[in-house]
Structure 1
Amino acid sequence: MTAEPVVRAHGVGKRYGPTVALHDVSLTVRPGESHALVGRNGAGKSTLVSILTGLSKPDTGAVEFGGRPAPALGDREGWRSRVACVYQHSTVIPHLTVAENLFLNRQPTGRFGISWSRLRRQAAELLESWRVAVDPDVPAGELSVEDRQLVEIARALSYGARFIVLDEPTAQLDSQAIERLFVRMRELQASGVTFLFISHHLQEVHEVCQAVTVLRDARHVVTAGVDELSRAQLIDAMTGEEGGLAVADAADRAPLPAGADAALTVEDLSGDDFAGVSFTLRRGEVLGLAGSNASGKHQVAETVYGLRAPSGGRVLLDGAALPAGDVGAALRAGIGCVPRDRHHQGLVLGLSIADNATMTVLDRLGPAGLAPPKAREARAATAIADYGVVAAGPEQEVSALSGGNQQKVVLARALAGDPRVLVLINPTAGVDVKSKEALLAVVDRVRAEGKAVLIVSDELDDLRPADRVLVLRSGRLVAEHQAGWSDGDLVADIEGVELDD
């Protein structure tokens, strides 16, 4: 006999006012598998997860765990014993220890309150039983992203849950940490743990999952074994269009003329986690910077646009040295930037699209530095149209936008001042396929206008528009690849391994 599914949602529907968030969606996850849930932003993934984890109630349909109806919405202990979600943004409390986080609100007690010795012992036993190599006495805020995720998984397992939802778990991990996470997932699967894996990285779906469900426009499109759907077919199912991911490849266009002027020059630059980095970026050129998260590539880019001060070397724009560690000076000189983390560095989430898109050019919108509301709204409306932002209007708060549309607002602001050099750090992180295409199409557009573009990314697709890709490893430049590079050659240099002949 076939074992009962760990979870089954059938005919689930959910509306928020006039908005249909889910329509007649079904999902079946079998014991011991990693089941991927994919779809564009707005496809219904988050709504389905909120229903599967007991945070919201479906308007239609039902959810079962092990063939039995899901607990009542108010039965939090019942839900915790069946399912847990490890979110992209950690829910551990940084100033509490690992042990305190593991048993928060259920600490063992003694005669005079909490028994700290028993708490530490139980935490150590729990971590050891699931092979999580973390000191239970360490404050959780000192852990790496990778270890915080494992602690959250261990906490979920301690409640008895054997079904774990992983929401974009690799978004903040480098390639080596991702591989370690996948090893642990396979080990946990062998121990009877089942995963629902949510990711925009479709190559990860094929690497770690056995089944995949695609949602599109709040509806179920297909469920199949991952070996039955290629990456292109997955993209087609997500978008409803044929052709897969359409990204301009620099190898398909004419090379940059040899005499093009230098726009940005980096001379022997050293700083946090990198040393002796030198390169030249020419007008109309797209330059990629690749490497692991520990390579120093993000720090180089952040030093170029002034977020970090270098310990040595200098950055020149059109031959003039930029002040060190001064973002404002970089902006005024003609550098626009999409930073690494849009939520903490790129947006003021409580403000509107108009506020966010124009905050770097307010002094240009009216006389004496005044920015009339009509001028601000007109500029924002133009940005919405030019960058394809899906929104109710310029005054909508950016916190209400999808990840892809938020990133388009950040890009609109970076280009609002007509910069000569555009620095993009992980420009498509956490966005869906169509948003990725739209964002990378802007790169090709500004390149054609004669601007210089520096792309720093963990995703190979983001580097396709680059005329050249420089590779950093352990803080130093180790390789350069011309347009037309192969994935294998580039990854080999990133990881520092030799390919077999």
Structure 2
Amino acid sequence: MTALPAGESAAGVVSAVGVGKRYGPTVALHDVSLTVHPGESHALVGRNGAGKSTLVSILTGLSATDTGHVEFGGEPAPPLSKQDDWKARVACVYQHAMVVPQLTVAENLFLNRQAGGGFSIGWKSLRRKARDLLDSWDVHVGVDTPAGELSVEDRQFVEIARALSYGARFIVLDEPTAQLDSQAIERLFDRMRQMQAGGVTFLFISHHLHEVYEVCQAVTVLRDAKHVLTAPVSEVGKARLVDAMTGEPGGLSVRDAASRESLDADAAEILSVDGLSGDGFRDVSFRLRRGEVVGLAGSNASGKHQVAETVYGLRTPSAGRIRIDGSPLRPGDIPAALRAGIGCVPRDRHHEGLVLEHSIADNTTMSILDKLGRGGIASPSTRHAKATQALKDYDIVAAGAEQPVSDLSGGNQQKVVLARALLSDPRVVVLINPTAGVDVKSKEALLAVVDRVRAEGKAVLIVSDELDDLRLSDRVLVLRAGAVVAEHQAGWSDGDLVADIEGVELS
């Protein structure tokens, strides 16, 4: 393991020793051990369903172990009933913010701790304490700002500061970069390093393996609910890390568009976008032909997501025109987009792509009910048959078509979203961050489906922060400050594309 700071105990900030957990017949963890040492950032990686979330719930006092135990600084963890004692030792900052958006930053920082003596709240004192706390950790947000108005980045820092205010110096970061652009990620990593120097320890969970090498000193791999590997990051190459996660050699296999036959020059144009302007972008124009994949790249503030959402009807443009096969598309109208032959995988599967409490059958068929029965009423057997076929076609790991989508791993949830988008046999497929929050093998499977539908003659518009996602593209358009600033043909280099995204010149 990595060397400990002088004077620190070898016991570690936290240790899970022989931890096991079952949910009915499902083994969620089997004899897993993990030690995180003081002042380090320790990565926890593995495929969806590997056991990471279960281990985090045990390390943060949300779940009890069936076997084994947890220690903090060599001492037994508190009973689950003593949640204040847990908060003084550990906190988790999740991908989806756990702040109350209607309350101010100060109110969120001291939620359920506002009152001083008695039942009254000293608002002046509360704001001062909040400001002192934020200043002590170099977090620059207004204490009277409603939390819902903060950026994703600032919400995360507020949550970290809240955890530190309880006395915890061990923070679990669960997919913290999933909704951040590259500049915000760098700021997060800089802040993590500063906090590490101040005595804070992190358990860092991410599917972006390059981040592990950038910010972590040690890494633990879980696979199939078991511990596979713990080692210093400096001693584990990326290929070995992927092999440990998947149990297979070879790592991620993504087909580069430059390696396949060029698009037929006579391929018909199917989507035309002319002078499109809207919230966060202006005067965007491009064409998309049958069997062609066009990527949109840029920072989260570039306008790329808004362009794609406007094409699908999630947003209404202020100017410009969209045509499908030469026919105008009614702006800001999702049903019209569906009828015109556009399918979409939206940016946020939890809030825009799925009804989590409903079954796989409900989710996969909801956009084609008008095709399955009169008046949009489809028989349960018809919906079940369609969903069962989707399970096979998209390799969705589930107990069956009636299983609630909320029970699935992130990768399998995303496959359900993709299955629904393609079940209507669209002519244009809009994919927005299609592999966000999924493991390396699920990513490979999702991108293979994209390559397959392209080969069938569908046109694909893919928007992503992941360079691997964009490698399928025949062309990549780069947006910056809401405008298209560059176009890269298949075979582009990472350096050239990133330079255009960031607006820098390579020497």
The TM-score normalised by the length of structure 1 is: 0.98
Residues in 1 aligned to 2:231 and 2:493: alpha-carbon distance in whole angstroms = 29
**Which of 150, 154, 159 is the equivalent residue of 1:152?**
159
Check if 1:71 corresponds to 2:73. Answer: no
Percent identity of the aligned residues? 76
Q: Do residues 378 (structure 1) and 380 (structure 2) align?
A: no
Pick from 15, 23, 42 the counterpart of residue 16 of structure 1.
23
Q: For residue 23 of structure 2, what is the amino acid of its counterpart?
A: Y
Q: 1:3 and 2:17 equivalent? A: no
CA distance in 2, matches of 1:172, 1:166: 13
* Equivalent residue in structure 1 for 2:427, among 416, 420, 423: 420
Taking the TM superposition and a 5 Å limit, the aligned residue runs for 1:165-244 are 165-244=172-251
Contact 2:97/2:155 (<8 A) preserved: yes
Q: Distance in 1 between matches of 2:270 and 2:56?
A: 47
The question of whether the paired residues in 2 share the 8 Å contact of 1:108 and 1:118 is answered with no
Out of 329, 333, 336, which is 1:326 matched to? Answer: 333
In 2, Cα distance between equivalents of 1:181 and 1:370: 49
- Do the aligned residues in 2 keep the contact of 1:268 with 1:314 (CA within 8 Å)? yes
Give the superposition deviation at 1:138.
Answer: 1.2
The answer for the alignment partner of 2:87 in structure 1 is: 80
Aligned residues: 500
- Tell me, in whole angstroms, the C-alpha distance in 2 between the residues paired with 1:93 and 1:310: 31
Residue 109 (structure 1) aligned with residue 116 (structure 2): yes
Q: Deviations over 1:358-392 (max 9, x none)?
A: 11111212345431221111111111110011111
Cα offsets for 1:45-89 (capped at 9, x unmatched): 000001100111111111111111111111111111111000111
For the residues of structure 2 that align with 1:194 and 1:154, how far apart are their CA atoms?
A: 14
- Residues 25 and 219 of structure 1 are in contact (CA less than 8 Å); yes or no, is this contact kept in structure 2? yes
8 A Cα contact 2:102 2:147, kept in partner: yes
Could you tell me how far 1:112 is from its partner in structure 2?
6.7
Q: What one-letter code is carried by the residue in structure 2 that aligns with 1:471?
A: V
CA deviations over 1:204-245 (Å, ceiling 9, x no partner): 111111110000000000011111112222111100000010
Residues 20 and 66 in structure 2, CA contact (< 8 A), matched pair in contact too: yes
Q: 1:126 to 1:361 in 2, by over 3 A?
A: same
Counterparts of 1:76 and 1:346, CA distance in 2: 34
Which residue does the alignment assign to 2:412?
405
Larger CA deviation: 38-47 vs 129-138: 129-138
SS at match of 1:248: coil
| Alignment correspondent of 1:253 | 260
Alignment of 1:477 with 2:497, yes or no, is no
C-alpha distance after superposition, 1:19-41 (max 9, x if no partner)? 11000101111110000000001
| Residues 109 and 483 (structure 1), Cα distance of their counterparts in 2 relative to 1, 3 Å cut | same
SS in 1 for 2:283: strand
1:372 and 1:101 map into 2 onto residues whose CA distance is 47
Taking only aligned residues, the RMSD between alpha carbons, in angstroms, comes to 1.1
Where structure 2 has 5 or more consecutive residues not aligned to the other structure, the ranges are: 1-6
Quote the residue 1:42 is aligned against.
49
Paired AA for residue 3 in structure 1: S
Q: For 2:371 and 2:118, how far apart are their aligned partners in 1?
A: 68
Gaps of 5+ in 1: none
102-111 or 300-309, larger mean C-alpha shift: 102-111
- Residue 4 of structure 2 corresponds to none
Q: Hey, what's the Cα distance between the residues in 1 that align with 2:117 and 2:32?
A: 48
Post-superposition CA distance 1:296-333 (Å, at most 9, x none): 00000001111111111111111111011111001001
